[in-house]
Structure 1
Amino acid sequence: MDKHLREAKQTLECRKVELLEHIHKTEVDHNTQELSEYDNHPADNATDLFDREKDAAIHQHMEEEVHEIEHALKKIMDGSYGICEKTGKAIPLERLEAFPTARTIVSESKPFEEYRPVEEDVLRGFSKSNKDQADNETEFDGEDAYQMVARFNDTSVEYDEETGDTDLYGANGVEEYEGFLSTGIDGYHGPESVDIQQNEHYKAYRESRK
């Protein structure tokens, strides 16, 4: 066994011992430490669940790494260590030093795109929730949320009575009359608590009703 193989074997064995010790010390306990659930706020239970799930994920990751190490050690013993499992080419020494359990050369490794978060499979951008073209739609959709955030980059430093979008709904409102109706700090408590602001949205509303 040459020098590089001995060093790789030693590195892998040391890492395996380290992982097994850590796995033994951090066995995942799926039971809550609380004697009763009645006095707990739901957030306390959620935190407890999150911690257990995090520990379980780390535990699984370490077990998978141990499996890869055992596979690499087996290849050292049968003389196939450092050989790409897909092409049969020699894996560069630099790659093995940085990634001792490498099974393939870089060009045959799993593309980065395949490691993308699973959440991206269901995300379709704001266009999926854009209902601005529907005149009878009053839902505060994804497009509206984006516009509200984006307007902070476009607002002038000078004071202007009208801020934000001035589209069909007026001032980021869901319905057009929200651009000119307001209440006091104590909120709505009847029609008498609603004030009409004499602004451009009110004028446009009046013009559209003529």
Structure 2
Amino acid sequence: MNTLTKDQLHQLKDALLEQRENLQRHFESSMEDGAPAESLKDSTGELSSYDNHPADAGTETFERSRDLAVDDTLSDEFDQVNEALERIEDGSYGTCITCGKDIPFERLEAIPYTAYCIDDTPQRDLSNDRPVEEEVMTMPPTGAGEVRQRNAGKFDHADAWEAVSEYGTSNSPATAAKREVRDYDENM
């Protein structure tokens, strides 16, 4: 038997209804902006992506994938809220669906849609959510960076630039910040 009082149950139901309303508002405002587009071209409204800098397309792709991930997470939360409201109606709310023990009121206050006590909360295995690229990546060789530390003070990449720049750079007297530069050496 559930140990929640009528006032506690009413408070939690109000919190769930408010949460459901907020989630519905989120999805309605997303639809006002336009339904999720099928392609990047549709989502940006561009006729062609060729006239855009590749970084712009990368930004659009990142923003779109982030929005889709947020919507996916909120959709799962919306389903859990509705399931919790159904459990309130059928009288099983506040009881762990795994072990049958009462879920403490404090936990329900923090996560009103939870169906699990702390001990039976399903753990997400993050190793399954890793990027596919990690399957083909190789580890850096052991001791990476040791050679650079051992050769500190010797000729390195920065020294290479200095050695090459003695022969001139793309900076010309015409693009110098100083006025009336007549020689490449004065430009530096």
TM-score, scaled to structure 2: 0.66
> 1:72, 1:101 within 8 Å by CA — same for their partners in 2?
yes
1:86 alignment counterpart:
98
Distance 1:95 1:116, change over 3 A: farther
Alignment of 1:25-174 (within 5 A): 25-27=29-31, 28-30=36-38, 31=42, 32-111=44-123, 114-115=125-126, 118-119=129-130, 122=134, 128-130=139-141, 143-145=143-145, 147=146, 164-165=149-150, 171=151
Q: State the distance in 2 between where 1:37 and 1:83 align.
A: 53
1:18 alignment counterpart:
22
Distance 1:85 1:185, change over 3 A: same
Distance 1:94 1:64, change over 3 A: same
SS in 2 for 1:185: helix
Q: State the distance in 1 between where 2:166 and 2:131 align.
A: 39
C-alpha displacement of 1:101: 1.0
Q: State the distance in 1 between where 2:61 and 2:50 align.
A: 16
What 5-or-longer segments of structure 1 have no aligned partner? 133-142, 149-162, 166-170, 173-177, 189-210
Give the CA RMSD over aligned residues. Answer: 3.1
Moved more, 47-56 or 78-87: 47-56
Show CA shifts across 1:74-133 (max 9, x none): 000000000011110000111001110111111111236x2468338948x99x442x6x
2:164 alignment counterpart:
185
C-alpha displacement of 1:187: 8.5
Moved more, 75-84 or 55-64: 55-64
Distance 1:120 1:187, change over 3 A: farther
- Greater relative contact order: 1 or 2 (C-alpha under 8 angstroms, separation 6 or more)? 2
Q: State the distance in 1 between where 2:80 and 2:100 align.
A: 19
State the AA in 2 paired with 1:119: R
Identical-pair percentage: 29
Show CA shifts across 1:123-173 (max 9, x none): 8x99x442x6xxxxxxxxxx414x47xxxxxxxxxxxxxx722xxxxx28x
> 1:29, 1:52 within 8 Å by CA — same for their partners in 2?
no
TM-score, scaled to structure 1: 0.60
State the AA in 2 paired with 1:19: L
Moved more, 34-43 or 7-16: 34-43
- The structure with more helix, counted as a fraction of residues: 2
Aligned length: 147
State the AA in 2 paired with 1:144: A
Q: State the distance in 1 between where 2:130 and 2:82 align.
A: 32
Distance 1:116 1:94, change over 3 A: farther
Q: State the distance in 1 between where 2:131 and 2:68 align.
A: 23
